[in-house]
Structure 1
């Protein structure tokens, strides 16, 4: 009985390896649900339940990062799960408190919104801190991390090439456990 089972397994293995030996390309589907997420991406969940009127801006900020980088992907937290990132609205100035790379709290402050700053830019900027980016002030509107120093007329919510590259570097091989936040992004970051 064991000989027949062993022979069957060996025959199956030989049949599966024939295309490899003949030089034919073989497509192999990766295990698990990886649809829409690059293999090396670290999935970070966010809870925007406390973001009040800024919920759509938070979701758009997350989408912008998902379109911009492959090393980290932001997804809304599922019911019953603990989020990596908590996003809340308050009456203060926008700020972020990264606790480790890809984890922390973001406040979408109404003070900046009331002064005319763009809510999607604020959201994308503050999420950038959670992804390990520091403020770069003063700076031009083309730099997302220039934050409020670019002025009220600036509505650019997209990271520039250098900011994208820095996030990719931060998350290179980071599909596993979280690592400390980059040195320049430790502590409360008030834009």
Structure 2
């Protein structure tokens, strides 16, 4: 079997195992100190190689999600590796495909400079758009305390942390098997005010 075919098969098998592992637990595995929650989490890779100027905001948005949910982990895709979340910089309004994205499927996140030009916070934008990829719709209008309220919270809002309800919804979306993740998704949500 050619190496490329083998790697693709191994990656698919690993993603399937991760996706079907079931709800996370707090037990610690003996190998390497990895918790069972981390081992059972669905791992989604993101590619931000076409998001020049947004790297710090993306890293902060990813860190926020990873710090607040345990059933899904966002990791940067290695060079040449397929990613489930493709992030690009654009000149328009931010937008993303509504998830929850699953391993082996691909969604697009567009981080639009038009929102930044109008005064919106880059890190909040990145975290908000990643929230769409994880299955969260907009909650407009809404307060700054709701990450998914997006532009309706105003340009002064810099909150990039999902609230308890948003965290719970993402946890639930990734708590089950691949079949549970196969609910209706795929709409593109444009985050213009």
Give the shorter-chain TM-score range. 0.7 to 0.9
Residue 108 of structure 1 corresponds to 111
Q: State the secondary structure of the residue aligned to 2:86.
A: strand
How many angstroms apart in 2 are the aligned matches of 1:90 and 1:28?
42
Task: Give the corresponding residue for 1:51.
Answer: 51
- Which residue of 152, 167, 174 corresponds with 1:171? 174
> Per-residue deviation at 1:34?
4.5
- Segments ≥4 residues shifted beyond 4 Å: 32-37
The CA distance in 1 between the partners of 2:171 and 2:75, in whole Å, is 17
Matches within 5 A, 1:62-101: 62-98=62-98, 101=101
For structure 1, list consecutive stretches of 5 or more residues without a partner in the other structure: 1-26
> In angstroms, what is the RMSD of aligned CA positions?
2.4
Aligned-partner SS, 1:96: strand
C-alpha distance in 2, partners of 1:36/1:62?
Answer: 21
User: Partner residue of 2:156?
Assistant: 153
Counterpart residue number, 1:14? none
Given that 1:98 and 1:105 are in contact with CA atoms closer than 8 Å, whether structure 2 keeps it comes out as: no
Residue in 1 that maps onto 2:182: 180
Match of 1:40 in 2: 40
TM-score (norm 1): 0.77
Deviation of 1:173 after TM superposition, in Å, equals 2.9
Query: d(CA) in 1 for partners of 2:44 and 2:29?
Result: 26
Describe the superposition over 1:92-136 as per-residue Cα deviations: whole angstroms up to 9, x where unpaired: 000002465244110000000000000000000000000000000
Does residue 1:127 correspond to 2:130, yes or no?
yes
**How many equivalent pairs are there?**
161
Distance 2:181 2:42 in 1: 12
Q: In structure 2, do the counterparts of structure 1 residues 36 and 112 end up closer, same or farther at CA, with 3 Å as the change threshold? A: farther
Return the alpha-carbon distance in structure 1 between the equivalents of residues 51 and 37 of structure 2.
25
Secondary structure at 2:148 match in 1: helix
* Greater radius of gyration (CA): 1
Distance in structure 2 (CA, Å) of the matches to 1:158 and 1:125: 9
